[in-house]
Amino acid sequence: MKHINLKQFWKQLSQNRFFTFLSLFGVSIPVMIIMVMIIKVELFINPGGPEQNNDQMLFLNRTKVKMEKGRAIGAVNLGIIENYFSEIAAPGSMAFSRSTSTAIFLENEVIDVPIRYTNADFWNVYDFKFLNGRNYTDENVGNKDNVIVISRNMRRRLFGNQKTVGETLEIEGEAYRIIGVVEDVTSLSRNAYSEIWLPYTIKSHSSADPVEIAKATGGYSVAFKASKAWGFEQIKADVERVRTRLNHLNGEHAEILFGGPAHATENYFRGFRDPETYEGNMVNYLALAGKALMILFLPALNLMSLNLTRIQERSQEIAIRKAFGGTRKRMALQILIENSVLTILGGLAGLLMAYGVMLLFKDQIFTNFFVRNTDQVKIHMNYLAFAVVLMVSLMFSVLSGLIPSLRISRLQPAYVLKGGEL
């Protein structure tokens, strides 16, 4: 019996090519779009590379200062980091850096290169993979040594893959000694990405006036690495205490607010927005789910109406089978299985297409103002999310098949055979 069902199913598919195509198309494309959407967000939240363990970190990238007239939004001020955060942070667990770009003059061209000024613990907090040499230490940073770490990509462009540790590079008119080469970092990794890393003390120093610091924004982003001794709650409480101290200095003239410390997910959703307007992760998840549902649901409506007409086409077949003793349950089950198989096929096709699209159009999908280097983006697949998406589209397709088939099977066979309609 199963065998006959399968045969029947196959006949149905090949006889009604248009319907088959529309079902596959209406399922696979939405599944593809949604999977690409999900993977994109996932990769921005956890880009891997140095940030592979970022679920153990809390990020603080935004500061807002409200004054009597006007407000300022920016990154974190160096003075706050040096005078307050370094006091509360457990040893080796706070990274801070400022990312900017510079023009480097090569033999035949000028390239705009992203550079990042960091502290020494930056190398402890993030997991960089060193190909040669070492990172700079607290001593280097304290002495304002002109030492840099470069990426593999930079090494290739500057020296053509030769041994580079110990060489010097001229940046902005000054000579720097290369002391390490690290594996390339994807620019999706907003907190760690650069091509050149150098001690932050070289080009900046913080204001000494505590009152000025208390109401200042700056250019730095901070990452705290949690440990057993210094957990998420503790970090958040400590940062909040710093904020209270700063606001105490500010008195009634100004108020300072932090957009964090936040987990990588929240940090991504917060983006560069005003810390006060952030409405929580749930809103962002719901917005994503809403988009996904819309993309799944509209084609499903199409399938439902098409199913309705198709069932009418098959009403005679169903009536005959009923007349020969087929039960309603059986009829409904068959339609159900047919639709499910089609949906699963479409879903799998969508999964493959999502892979293909992400591999072929990596640049177009991931490039934006902050993302320039997609070479290191490692495409993965979230099968749990895929299962959920597939379940939802299965639900739609079962509904779309079940309602009309139940309606049909309720009718008297004789009435249908005579040409009666729903």
The residues of the shown chain that bind other proteins, judged by CB under 8 A, are: 18-19, 22, 25-26, 29, 33, 100-103, 105, 109-110, 112, 172-174, 203-205, 294-295, 297-299, 301-306, 308-310, 312-313, 364-365, 367-369, 372, 422
Nearest-approach distance from CB 111 to other proteins, in angstroms: 9
* Helix, strand or coil, per DSSP, at residue 347: helix
Nearest-approach distance from CB 260 to other proteins, in angstroms: 22
Count, residues in the chain: 422
Q: Are 253 and 70 in contact (CB under 8 A)?
A: no
* Helix, strand or coil, per DSSP, at residue 150: strand
Nearest-approach distance from CB 348 to other proteins, in angstroms: 19
DSSP letter string, 74-95:
EBB-HHHIIIIIHHHSPTT-EE
Nearest-approach distance from CB 371 to other proteins, in angstroms: 8
**41 or 165: CB nearest other proteins:** 41
- CA dist 2 and 4 (Å) reads 5
**153 or 234: CB nearest other proteins:** 153
Strands 196-199 and 110-118: parallel
What pairs with residue 371 in β-bridges? 368
**6 or 360: CB nearest other proteins:** 360
Nearest-approach distance from CB 367 to other proteins, in angstroms: 6
**243 or 270: CB nearest other proteins:** 270
How crowded is residue 343: how many other Cβ atoms within 10 Å of its Cβ? Answer: 28
Q: What are the distances in angstroms from CA 223 to CA 59, 189, 296?
A: 5, 13, 38
**165 or 304: CB nearest other proteins:** 304
**130 or 361: CB nearest other proteins:** 361
**330 or 407: CB nearest other proteins:** 407
Nearest-approach distance from CB 29 to other proteins, in angstroms: 5
Q: What are the distances in angstroms from CA 134 to CA 97, 177, 182?
A: 18, 12, 9
Chain centroid, CA 398 distance in Å: 31
Nearest-approach distance from CB 174 to other proteins, in angstroms: 8
- CA dist 77 and 216 (Å) reads 6
- CA dist 281 and 263 (Å) reads 10
